[in-house]
Amino acid sequence: MEIVKKDLQGIEFRFFGPDSVRKLSVMEVSVPELYDQDGFPVEGGLMDPRLGVVDPGMRCRSCGGKVGHCPGHFGHIEFAKPVIHVRFGKKIYMWLSMACPSCGRVAVEKEARDIYEREFQRIDNEGTNSERAKLIRDIAKEAKKHSVCPHCGADKPAITYEKPTTYYQGEDKLTPVEVRENLEKIPDEDLFLLGVDSRAFRPEWAVMTSFLVPPVTVRPCITLETGERSEDDLTHKLVDIMRINLRLRENMASGAPAVIIEDLWELLQYHATTFIDNQVSGIPPARHRAGRILKGVVQRVKTKQGRFRRNLAGKRVNFSARTVVSPDARIGVDEVGIPDEIARDLTVSVYVTDENVEQMKEVIRRGPEALDGANYVIDDQGNRLRITDFNQETLAEQVAPGWMVDRHLKDGDVVLMNRQPSLHRMSLMGHRVRVLPGRTFRIHPSICAPYNADFDGDEMNLHDPQGEEARAEALELLGVRKNLRSPRFGGVIIGGWRTQISGLFLLTQKDTVLSREKAFQLIYDAGIEAELPSSKKEITGREIFSLLLPSDFNIRFKTKASKSGKVGEDDSEVVVKDGKLLKGVIDSSAVGSFGGRILDRIVQEYGPDFGTDFINKLAALGLLYLKMRGMTVSIEDFEIPEETHKEINQTLSKAKREVRNIIKKAEAGKLKSWPGMSMVETRESEIIHTLNKARDEAVRMVGDVLSPSNPAAIMAISGARGNLLNVALIAGAVGQQAIGGGRPKRGYYSSRTFPHFVKHDLGAESKGFVRSSYGSGLNPFEFFWVSASGREGLTDTGVKTPKSGYMYRRLSNALQDLKVEYDGTVRDSGGNIIQFLYGEDGIDVSMSDKGFINLDRLAELARGGDK
């Protein structure tokens, strides 16, 4: 594709004043009726054929074009009395407050005016838009101050504004006619002080005397199945405007009383306002007969559902599918299982050549219903023919080189998978297809981390790339294999996950030994092709894990498990020598999906293909071993000795006594305030500190008595899922609940949280401390505290998600055209340099070691050291 580049100097928006409106319009709309008895558009009505065509077969009376060729033409309405344009409500208020009602000059003294003029010139040359906006605000503030005009000396009464379109001068309400007259008086020479370009706009245009009627093509009517015609929301609004306008004109002509005229005028204002924007604060939105709120012009454009974000920035696409995801550890991480139903619907276009013509005949013969069939052929004339039961034989006969066949998706095809919100590059990755029975997408559990997917009903989208170029990109740039390491933190992001870690942890513990038969079964099931390391009757788990490692692999590091103090010396340091795991237990710090050391080294030094294979095998090994061994969690696993319970109770009671002491000290005024805190704040902080310390103590005590073979402990220690605090909440005590960043304050009147407590009680129980554990059950107060802080957490996430979502939108919109150029600079689409060196250090983070270049390691490798 040829890229056309043009340099824009700027974009200027202008406003259609009354003259331009009449010039642009092909006709004045003067009849409020749409159709006559026979259902034909009424001449001079809102559906007049001069405004464009929407019915196929009809011709436009203005340009002669048919549907699709005629762009539609504007008409106009002459208002019986002028009407304020809502979108200028605030601006009109500003202009009225700045200008003198008598002479029309902007109330700024000569000297100040000169300064402002120079400042505008400066901003034109070198200033920013926000500087300009600020200057205009400053001038407005200055002009507003004057109660007497500095030019003619006339009184300049203050203007008050009532949203959206009502203005008062002093005590008197201004009609739109008066508003317009005042704005007309402002001379062109003063307009720059209002921030208005006199060549483009006159302030009085904001009070409309004529009104543009959009072409029928932008407000087409829909014919329902019943044959009934349903008009567009804009047409409905225009009919309202027409009716009221006509009645207003008739009443004016017949000399009706001023009240009636005023009422009709206000109604006209209302309809014109809601046509433009039907979500203005201060007035009720216009509704459909059925009660539905009508869509105004603004509503068509604004927000996610509006023209920009829905139809221009994003569109519906073909060749895509969406369904629920479910796990399947027996496919590869870089594969995706696709329901056959979807495989038969999505197609890949194949050129028929001498080489594949026989194969394509087969595919056509299988037809659209069978798997690995085809839906369409395109003959050498470019005609697209649907394959059906009737023609599949004939088409299979006819097909020849030069034709194209839209064949079904089949195993090995490349597709893109996406899970929203797409927060980073790995939210969209290329997978290879596996057509499977069932109705869900099957993904490997190890791919959950980058997609942030789980299987509680998550859905994902699939895109079927159509060109060879797209397929190559999906594989080479977006492919799972090419995205094992994160460009965010420079470590693996795809790897051991949850249960896999628990399994490998148990497999590689010091004393895990398997019989030869079991070991065989395990490595066979896991798809590992290797010889068992010894002819011994028993094989250790570590020997089995070592089968995954390259024979020249060496590494040594402290395990995550060692930090818990729950594993023996032998398990706490991983030592791999020549591809043999000699010491140490495999946990999340070794193969986990956020920077597992062994996994990371393997991906970096043995390449993505070896890395992917390694991930597949370790997942299989971990899961299969766990299946073989068995692991369950029950309530029993959270029982702790009576002794520990007593100790925990003592600790908590002691803490509560300390809290009483703090309160007493504070009441006696003897509590020393912490720096920057009041006495009350200090008291609260000390109480929370004391109670949290006691809870931590309880957590420690639970941790101490927890057996390393406890399943919950295994998960926590290995980093598979959860931590010891989760166990302590169930077995020990839940602890202090925070609401609004501190202990709960409000409740039963202002003196206490519940009527069941003594007035002004500051003790632990009445202020959100939960002494019980989830295992033992909570009392009603405790249950309330936990629920309240839980609700707060839920509310916070509900508030934060859209906020951070919007921040992300702004950021990605601002950065989306930046790319690294041939010379290493980061540039935007205009070729402007944003950074001279990518990230200012030129490092591709996904290729780095946590964002850095590990020179020591490189030197080691260069010296021919161990891999």
Q: Which does 456 bind (CB under 5 to 8 A by kind): Zn ion, Mg ion, none?
A: Mg ion
Looking from the CA of 100 toward its CB, the CA atoms found within 13 Å total: 20
Angstrom distance (rounded) from CA 428 to CA 328: 19
Q: Which partner from the list Zn ion, Mg ion, none does 820 bind, CB cut-off 5 to 8 Å by kind?
A: none
Contact 463, 317 (CB under 8 A): yes
Residue pair 493/591 in contact by the 8 Å Cβ criterion: no
Strands of the 555-558 sheet, one edge to the other: 555-558, 573-577, 580-583
Residue pointed to by tokens 């497999």:
507
The span from the first CA to the last CA of the chain, in angstroms, equals 46
Binding partner of residue 80 among Mg ion, Zn ion, none, CB cut-off 5 to 8 Å per kind: none
- Residue 27 contact partner, candidates Zn ion, Mg ion, none, CB within 5 to 8 A by sort of partner: none
Of 148-156, 167-175, 205-213, 642-650, which segment contacts Zn ion by CB under 5 A? 148-156
Closest to Zn ion by CB, 47 or 727: 47
Of residues 456 and 531, the one with the C-beta less far from Mg ion: 456
Nearer to Zn ion, 82 or 214 (CB): 214
Residues listed for the chain: 867
For residue 19, the partner it binds in Zn ion, Mg ion, none, with Cβ less than 5 to 8 A by kind, is none
Identify residues 77-116 at the interface with Zn ion (CB under 5 A).
100, 102-103
Closer to Zn ion by CB, 65 or 579: give it. 65
Burial pattern 215-249, b for ≥16 Cβ within 10 A else e, equals: bbbbbbbeeeeeeeeebbbbbbbbbbbbebbbbbb
Half-sphere exposure of 557 (CA within 13 A, CB side): 17
CB 420 → Mg ion: shortest distance, Å? 12
Window 3-42: contact mask with Zn ion (x via CB under 5 A): ----------------------------------------
451 or 785: CB nearest Mg ion = 451
The distance from CA 567 to its chain's CA centroid, rounded to whole angstroms, is 42
Smallest gap from residue 12 Cβ to Zn ion (A): 27
Among the listed residues 172, 19, 186, the one whose alpha carbon sits nearest the alpha carbon of residue 94: 186
Least distance between Mg ion and beta carbon 423 (Å) = 15
Sheet holding 404-408, edge to edge: 347-351, 404-408, 374-378, 384-386
Cα–Cα distance measured from residue 566 to residue 806, given in angstroms and rounded to the nearest whole number:
44
Nearest residue (CB) to Mg ion, 498 versus 645: 498
Binds 283, which of Zn ion, Mg ion, none (CB < 5 to 8 A, cut-off by type)? none
C-alpha distances in Å from residue 550, one per residue of 528, 582, 600, 791: 13, 14, 14, 51
Q: Which does 103 bind (CB under 5 to 8 A by kind): Zn ion, Mg ion, none?
A: Zn ion
Shortest reach from residue 74's CB to Zn ion, in Å: 11
Cβ contact 118:305 at 8 Å: no
Residue with smaller CB distance to Zn ion, 65 or 708: 65
The shares of helix, strand and coil residues in the chain, as percent rounded to the nearest 5, are: 45, 15, 40
Say which entry of Zn ion, Mg ion, none residue 841 contacts (CB below 5 to 8 A, set by partner kind).
none
Helices (H), 723-844: 724-731, 780-815
Residue 818 burial by CB count (10 A; 0-12/13-18/19+): exposed, middle or buried? Answer: middle
By C-beta, is 75 or 541 nearer to Zn ion?
75
- In whole angstroms, the minimum distance from the beta carbon of 804 to Mg ion comes to 18
Tell me the per-residue interface mask from 505 to 544 with Zn ion, x by CB under 5 A, - otherwise: ----------------------------------------
Q: How far apart are CA 343 and CA 212, in angstroms?
A: 51
Q: How far apart are CA 2 and CA 416, in angstroms?
A: 27
The smaller minimum CB distance to Zn ion, of residues 70 and 94, is found at 70
How many Cβ atoms from other residues are within 10 Å of residue 574's Cβ? 24
Identify what 123 binds: Mg ion, Zn ion, none; CB under 5 to 8 Å per kind: none
Nearest-angstrom CA–CA distance, 617 and 332: 9
Q: How far is the CB of 454 from Mg ion (least distance, A)?
A: 4
**Residue 55 beta carbon to Zn ion: minimum distance, rounded to whole angstroms:** 13
295/275 Cα distance (integer angstroms) = 8
**Dihedral (Cα; 146, 151, 153, 156), 10-degree rounding:** -40
Cβ contact 493:447 at 8 Å: no
Residue 357: name its binding partner from Mg ion, Zn ion, none (Cβ under 5 to 8 Å by kind): none
**Exactly one of 149, 494, 706, 728 binds Zn ion (CB under 5 A); which one?**
149
Rg (CA), the chain: 37
Q: Which is nearer to Mg ion, 171 or 456 (CB)?
A: 456
**Which of Mg ion, Zn ion, none is residue 454 near (CB under 5 to 8 Å by kind)?**
Mg ion
Closest CB to Zn ion among 60 and 691?
60
Closer residue to Zn ion, CB minimum distance, 182 or 392: 182
Choices 69-77, 126-134, 293-301, 710-718 (CB under 5 A): range interacting with Zn ion:
69-77
**Interface region with Zn ion, contact rule CB under 5 A, candidates 1-9, 65-73, 117-125, 768-776:** 65-73
Cβ nearer to Mg ion, comparing 446 with 546: 446
CB nearer to Zn ion: give 186 or 624. Answer: 186
- Could you tell me the two tokens for 656? 């509560």
Phi then psi dihedrals of residue 151, to 5 deg: -95, -50
Single residue of 29, 54, 70, 576 touching Zn ion by CB under 5 A: 70
Number of residues that bind Zn ion (CB under 5 A): 12
Tokens 């002479």 -> residue: 103
Q: How far is the CB of 328 from Zn ion (least distance, A)?
A: 57
554 scored as a contact of Zn ion (CB under 5 A):
no
- Unique residue bearing structure tokens 């946990």: 587
- Shortest distance (Å) from residue 322 CB to Mg ion: 15
The residue type at 291: G
One residue of 62, 347, 483, 616 binding Zn ion per CB under 5 A: 62
What are the residues binding Mg ion (CB under 5 A)? Answer: 454, 456, 458
Whose structure tokens read 């007049």?
A: 48
Query: Smaller CB distance to Zn ion: residue 154 or 177?
Result: 154
Residue 801 C-beta: closest distance to Zn ion, Å: 47
Candidate ranges 68-76, 79-87, 407-415, 487-495; the one touching Zn ion (CB under 5 A): 68-76
Site string for Zn ion, 151-190 (x = CB under 5 A): xx-x------------------------------------
Please give the DSSP secondary-structure letter assigned to residue 424.
S
> What minimum distance in Å lies between the beta carbon of 324 and Mg ion?
10
Q: How far is the CB of 462 from Mg ion (least distance, A)?
A: 18
Q: Please list, in sequence order, all residues whose beta carbon lies within 8 angstroms of the beta carbon of residue 661, skipping any fewer than 6 positions away.
A: none
Give the CA dihedral 495, 501, 504, 510, nearest 10 degrees: 130
The H or E element that residue 350 is part of is strand 347-351
By beta-carbon proximity to Zn ion, the closer residue of 143 and 447 is 143
Q: Which one of Mg ion, Zn ion, none interacts with residue 458, CB within 5 to 8 A by kind?
A: Mg ion
Q: Which residues would be at the binding site for Zn ion (CB under 5 A)?
A: 60, 62-63, 65, 70, 100, 102-103, 149, 151-152, 154
